[in-house]
Structure formats: structure tokens, C-alpha cells
Amino acid sequence: MKQFLVLGGIFLLVACQQDKIGFVDNVQLMDGYQEKIDVENKFKTKAEALTKKRDSISQAFDLELKAFQTKAQSLSQQKAQEEYGLIQQRAQFMGQQLQQEEQQLQATGQTEMDSVVSKVKKEITAFGKRNGYTYILGGGEGGSVLYGTEAKDLTKDILVILNDKYNN
């Protein structure tokens, strides 16, 4: 009888101890996070500036090439080939420089976005600890939550905290 009471007590304790579970819609959280929006806008602006620079250089090169073609008619074939070779080398060099700038911009953007994602993960962890959650699952694109009640959706709560911290 004593064993039965002990086992019953243990069962009762385990049955009463429920895990607190919530979920976050990753897509909605990131799309609403102002720092992420600002990082994207900053790099979009830089990418547009780089595109304008590339277009400007391309137009200038096209004008130079047309001028050379006109001039080449009055040059000897050897001299025309030499100058054309120099123009090609400059074009290749400019293309490589622009490509390096683009790669550097992408790398910097990825680093900043990784930092944003890291902040979000840390805030979700802190929120879970502060509020006694055993698990906070990720939903949205590629998430593991296929269904969850609105009462368990923590997205808005965490988004408010993230944006408040970012704005302050």
C-alpha cells in the first residue's frame, strides 16, 4: 500500500508538471523587426549606388570605345590593335574592381544580417527564460510548427521587445 501511495504521488507530480510551450513565426518576426528592415534598406541603397556606378562606368567605356572605333580607321592595324588591347585591359580591370566591391558589399551585408539573427535568437531565449517557457518553437517558412493556437503565438510579444530595444 505504501508503494502504491508513493507511485501515485510521483505520477501526480509528473502529471501536474506540464511544459510551457510557445512558438514564434520566424518570417513575421524578422519582417517586423526594425533593425532588420534598416539593415536591408542600408544595403539596398548601397547596392543601388554600386549599380549606378557600374552603369556610369559602362556608359563612359562605351563612349570611349566608339571614339576609338572612329579613330582606329586612321591608325595602322598594329597601332589600332595595341590601343584596343589597352582598352580591353582597362575594361577588365574595372570589371574586376566592381566585382570585388560587390562581393565586399555582400559579405558585409551577410555579416550584419547574421548579427541581427543572433540578436533575435538571444532575445527569444531571454524571453523564454523570463517567462518560464520550456520550449519556444519556430514557425513560418522552414519552421517546425505546423499549427499553433493564437494564445501560444509569442511573435508579437517578442517583436515589441526587439523593436523597443532597437529604438532605444
Q: At what angle do helices 77-130 and 155-167 cross, to 10 degrees?
A: 110
The DSSP element (H or E) to which 151 belongs, if any, is none
Residues 159 and 153: their CA atoms lie apart, in Å, by 11
Model pTM? 0.74
pLDDT, tens digit only, all 168 positions of the chain: 455 444 444 443 444 468 899 999 999 999 999 999 999 999 999 999 999 999 998 898 888 888 888 888 888 889 888 888 988 898 899 889 999 999 999 999 999 999 999 999 999 999 999 999 999 999 888 777 877 888 888 999 999 999 999 999
Q: At what angle do helices 77-130 and 34-72 cross, to 10 degrees?
A: 180
User: 18-167 falls under which CATH superfamily?
Assistant: Skp domain (3.30.910.20)
